[in-house]
Structure 1
């Protein structure tokens, strides 16, 4: 009874992706322990599937990967039900949510351990210790509850990625056919795969959930190894496009260009995330190579056009409002679509200042659109993250913001929306301010429907642009019911919520 059951809770309604995080844990124990994967995205009744494995009496360990938001809806009640029915199992959680909220997770009484950050070394070491009855108190990246206290073992230095064992794609395919479940049709291609080529990010933005976990560290696979993995899935299962889910794919110009040149003959389209000030340093030749290598669209955290807000957010680097606009215009000549995200509603001393900041960002976004209308705009409402020691998090706490203390409270509708950065639950934002943000977003998406919504045909695009265009031109954003109606009828897709 030492098999391992790995669970990926449901994260999307459609277009499921290869569960890379849980697959990396499977790779870490491959050849040492037998394992099975249950993917909540692919099961009509995932709890029943989990219980069918546990009923065999062969599975002692069960690992959940948990992102904030949708995955909690299955993660929390399933973990509770499993622990009640199979109290002898050892429940281990990993992922962004338990790494940032270990107290609520461990005090629930049904999670035994949290892997705080990468689990490639910590998870198999913890299983070894539990199997052998040896101490786990010194295993790095492990957090647990003991004698009424939360014990956080020291963090492990980020390790090189190339020596890690290969992901067991073929065994995953035995559980869930890769071509059936994990290669979806998107704006990028007919059979889009997901891949992680690096972990971490070398910056310390105080609004980012990655920072407390990786602490300004970044490690990446070599361009050659990334290419080899991608080509394997391309050749075996027909993938024709890639979503790189790295926190920051484009840190190294050399690696990016090398990969672009390697992948070019495969004619695969791809997308990744970057920083504006990093890529603005890329030479024209490098940007041209990136586009020639198949890159169609890049997500950038623009966050704000206000330099004081960028400083408040601890954006770091050299990014400025002027650079945001200049770079959007620069990308036009390379036929790369910049996807800019903005964070509206950052805290300020007075309500008048908060509203003035929102108005500034709305005007700034319209300036970005004026220089490059193809720029995709993603709007988020500022949601605090627990970046310990950051001035911004102290500020939001002083203004009365608190996280739920009880794990079950995280699956209330309000907190689910909080995790999607749509309902901030922050004391300094009034309902009128939130309405202003959402209404502007509705009009903006009407005038400039996202290119990534492949279900929206030309006729629908022209119709919604016509309806929204007058509002956009005269800055009339209140009560855009006619636009909302069209978006609801046509099931308009917002990439920040549902992906491509």
Structure 2
């Protein structure tokens, strides 16, 4: 009874991707422990599938990858049901949610251990200790309960990513055909999701990555990334790549090396970056990246207000002026910049909060003016429990608190919170939230995202016509006609639904 079941809870109703996080854990125990994967995206009844394995009596260990938002909807009730029926199993959660909310997870009574960051060593070492009845207190990257208290072990240095074992794609294919995970998107007919690095070298106070990686970043070499992508392209026909790294473009040399390797493969791709990092790239580098098939890059613009950028601890050298200048610079390379903005940051008075929202709306319109092709993603500020963060201390002082029980996290309000659409913060009034949402509706009406491949040219012209006058005269209230068209046409919002 020492087999391992790895579960990837549902994250999308369609267009789901290769479960890289849980597959990474599978690679860490492959050859040492027998393992199976259950993907909640592919199963009509994942609990029944999991129980069919557990009822054999051969499985003792369960590893769940749990990100904030939709994955909690399956992870919480399924974990609870498993512990009720199979109490002797060992439940291990990994991912941003349990790492950032360890107490509420462990207080639930049905999660035994949390992997706090990368599990490449922590997970197999924990299994070895439990199998051999040895202490696990000195295993790095663990969080668990001992004598009623939460214990966190020290963090492990980030591992050289090229030294890690290859992901077991072929074994995953024996559970779920790989082509199921290669979805049709704006990028291509068979889009591959891939992680080429972990962490980020910055400390933005609103980012869930920061408490886990603590401004550290490690990446696979360009050659290793190319080898993996090439393998999946040749074997299963992938023609596009979504790089789900938190920050793909940290290294200009690595990005350009990969671009030159992938160019002959004629694949299109997308990744995430910082504006102040890529603004330092040479023109020749940006040209090579575009020539290699990169169509769009996601940038965390966050705010055009330099004081707010400082409040967010954005770090680096990013400024409002640079955000606009860089959007204009991207035009000559034909790369679509996808800018995210975070509205509704805390301020001493409600008047200041509203003034900041108005400033960001005007700033977004300036960005659109210099480069209309810029994609705009709008979030409302959602607190992240970053220890030592001045901003988080301000948030707590203002009266904000996270749920005290794990079950409360799967209420509709808190799920929307994790998608950064419903902030549940005391300094934002309903009127302010409506202002943000209404502006977003009008903006998406006049500039519908290019990533919505179902929205044909006729529909685009119609909704742009309806939204154009509102946008021109700053009339954002009650955009019911635009909302109706978006609902009828099932308009996609990339920040919630991806490509």
Bin of the TM-score, shorter chain as denominator length: over 0.9
User: Counterparts in 2 of 1:407-426, with a 5 A limit?
Assistant: 407-426=406-425
Deviation of residue 416 (structure 1)?
A: 0.3
Q: How far apart, in 1, do the equivalents of 2:128 and 2:34 lie?
A: 13
Equivalence map 1:152-167=2 (5 Å):
152-167=152-167
Structure-to-structure mapping, 1:1-400, within 5 angstroms: 1-179=1-179, 181-400=180-399
Q: Distance in 2 between the 1:99 and 1:110 partners?
A: 16
CA–CA separation in structure 2 for the residues paired with 1:268 and 1:335: 16
Q: CA deviation at 1:319?
A: 0.3
Q: Alpha-carbon deviation of 1:171?
A: 0.2
Equivalent-residue separation in structure 2 for 1:219 and 1:391 (angstroms): 27
Give a deviation string over 1:237-266, Cα, whole Å, max 9, x none. 000000000000000000000000000000
2: CA distance between counterparts of 1:355 and 1:156? 42
**Structure 1, residues 57-108: CA drift from partner, whole Å, max 9, x if none?**
0000001000001000000000000000000100000000000001000010
Which whole-Å CA distance do the structure 2 matches of 1:58 and 1:122 have between them?
22
**Residue 405 of structure 1: how far off its partner (Å):** 1.1
- Partners of 1:385 and 1:40 in 2: how far apart? 26
**Runs of 4+ deviating beyond 2 Å:** none
User: CA shift at 1:159, angstroms?
Assistant: 1.2
Q: How far apart are 1:271 and its partner, in Å?
A: 0.3
3-state SS of the aligned residue for 1:251? coil
Secondary structure at the aligned position of 1:282 is classed as coil
Matches of 1:267 and 1:388, distance apart in 2? 44
CA distance in 2, matches of 1:110, 1:402: 23
How big is the alpha-carbon RMSD for the aligned residues of Structure 1 and Structure 2? 0.3
Please give the alpha-carbon distance, in whole angstroms, between the structure 2 residues aligned to 1:165 and 1:135. Answer: 26
> May I ask how many residue pairs the two structures share in their alignment?
499
SS at match of 2:296: strand
Q: Secondary structure at the match of 1:162?
A: helix
Distance of 1:210 and 1:6 partners within structure 2: 22
1-side partners of 2:422 and 2:326: how far apart? 30
**Structure 1 residues 170-227: Cα deviation after superposition (integer angstroms, max 9, x where no partner):** 0000000001x10000000000000000000000001100000000000000000000
Q: TM-score, normalised by structure 1?
A: 1.00
Structure 1: distance between partners of 2:495 and 2:129:
40
SS of equivalent residue, structure 2 residue 162 = coil
In the alignment, what sits opposite 2:441? 442
Segments of 5+ residues of structure 2 without an aligned counterpart are none
Q: Matched residues in 2 for 1:343 and 1:354: separation?
A: 12
Specify every segment of 5 or more residues in structure 1 that has no aligned partner in the other structure, as ranges.
Answer: none
Deviations 1:371-411 (A, max 9, x none): 00000000000000011001000000000000011110000
Q: How far apart in 2 are the matches of 1:294 and 1:124?
A: 38
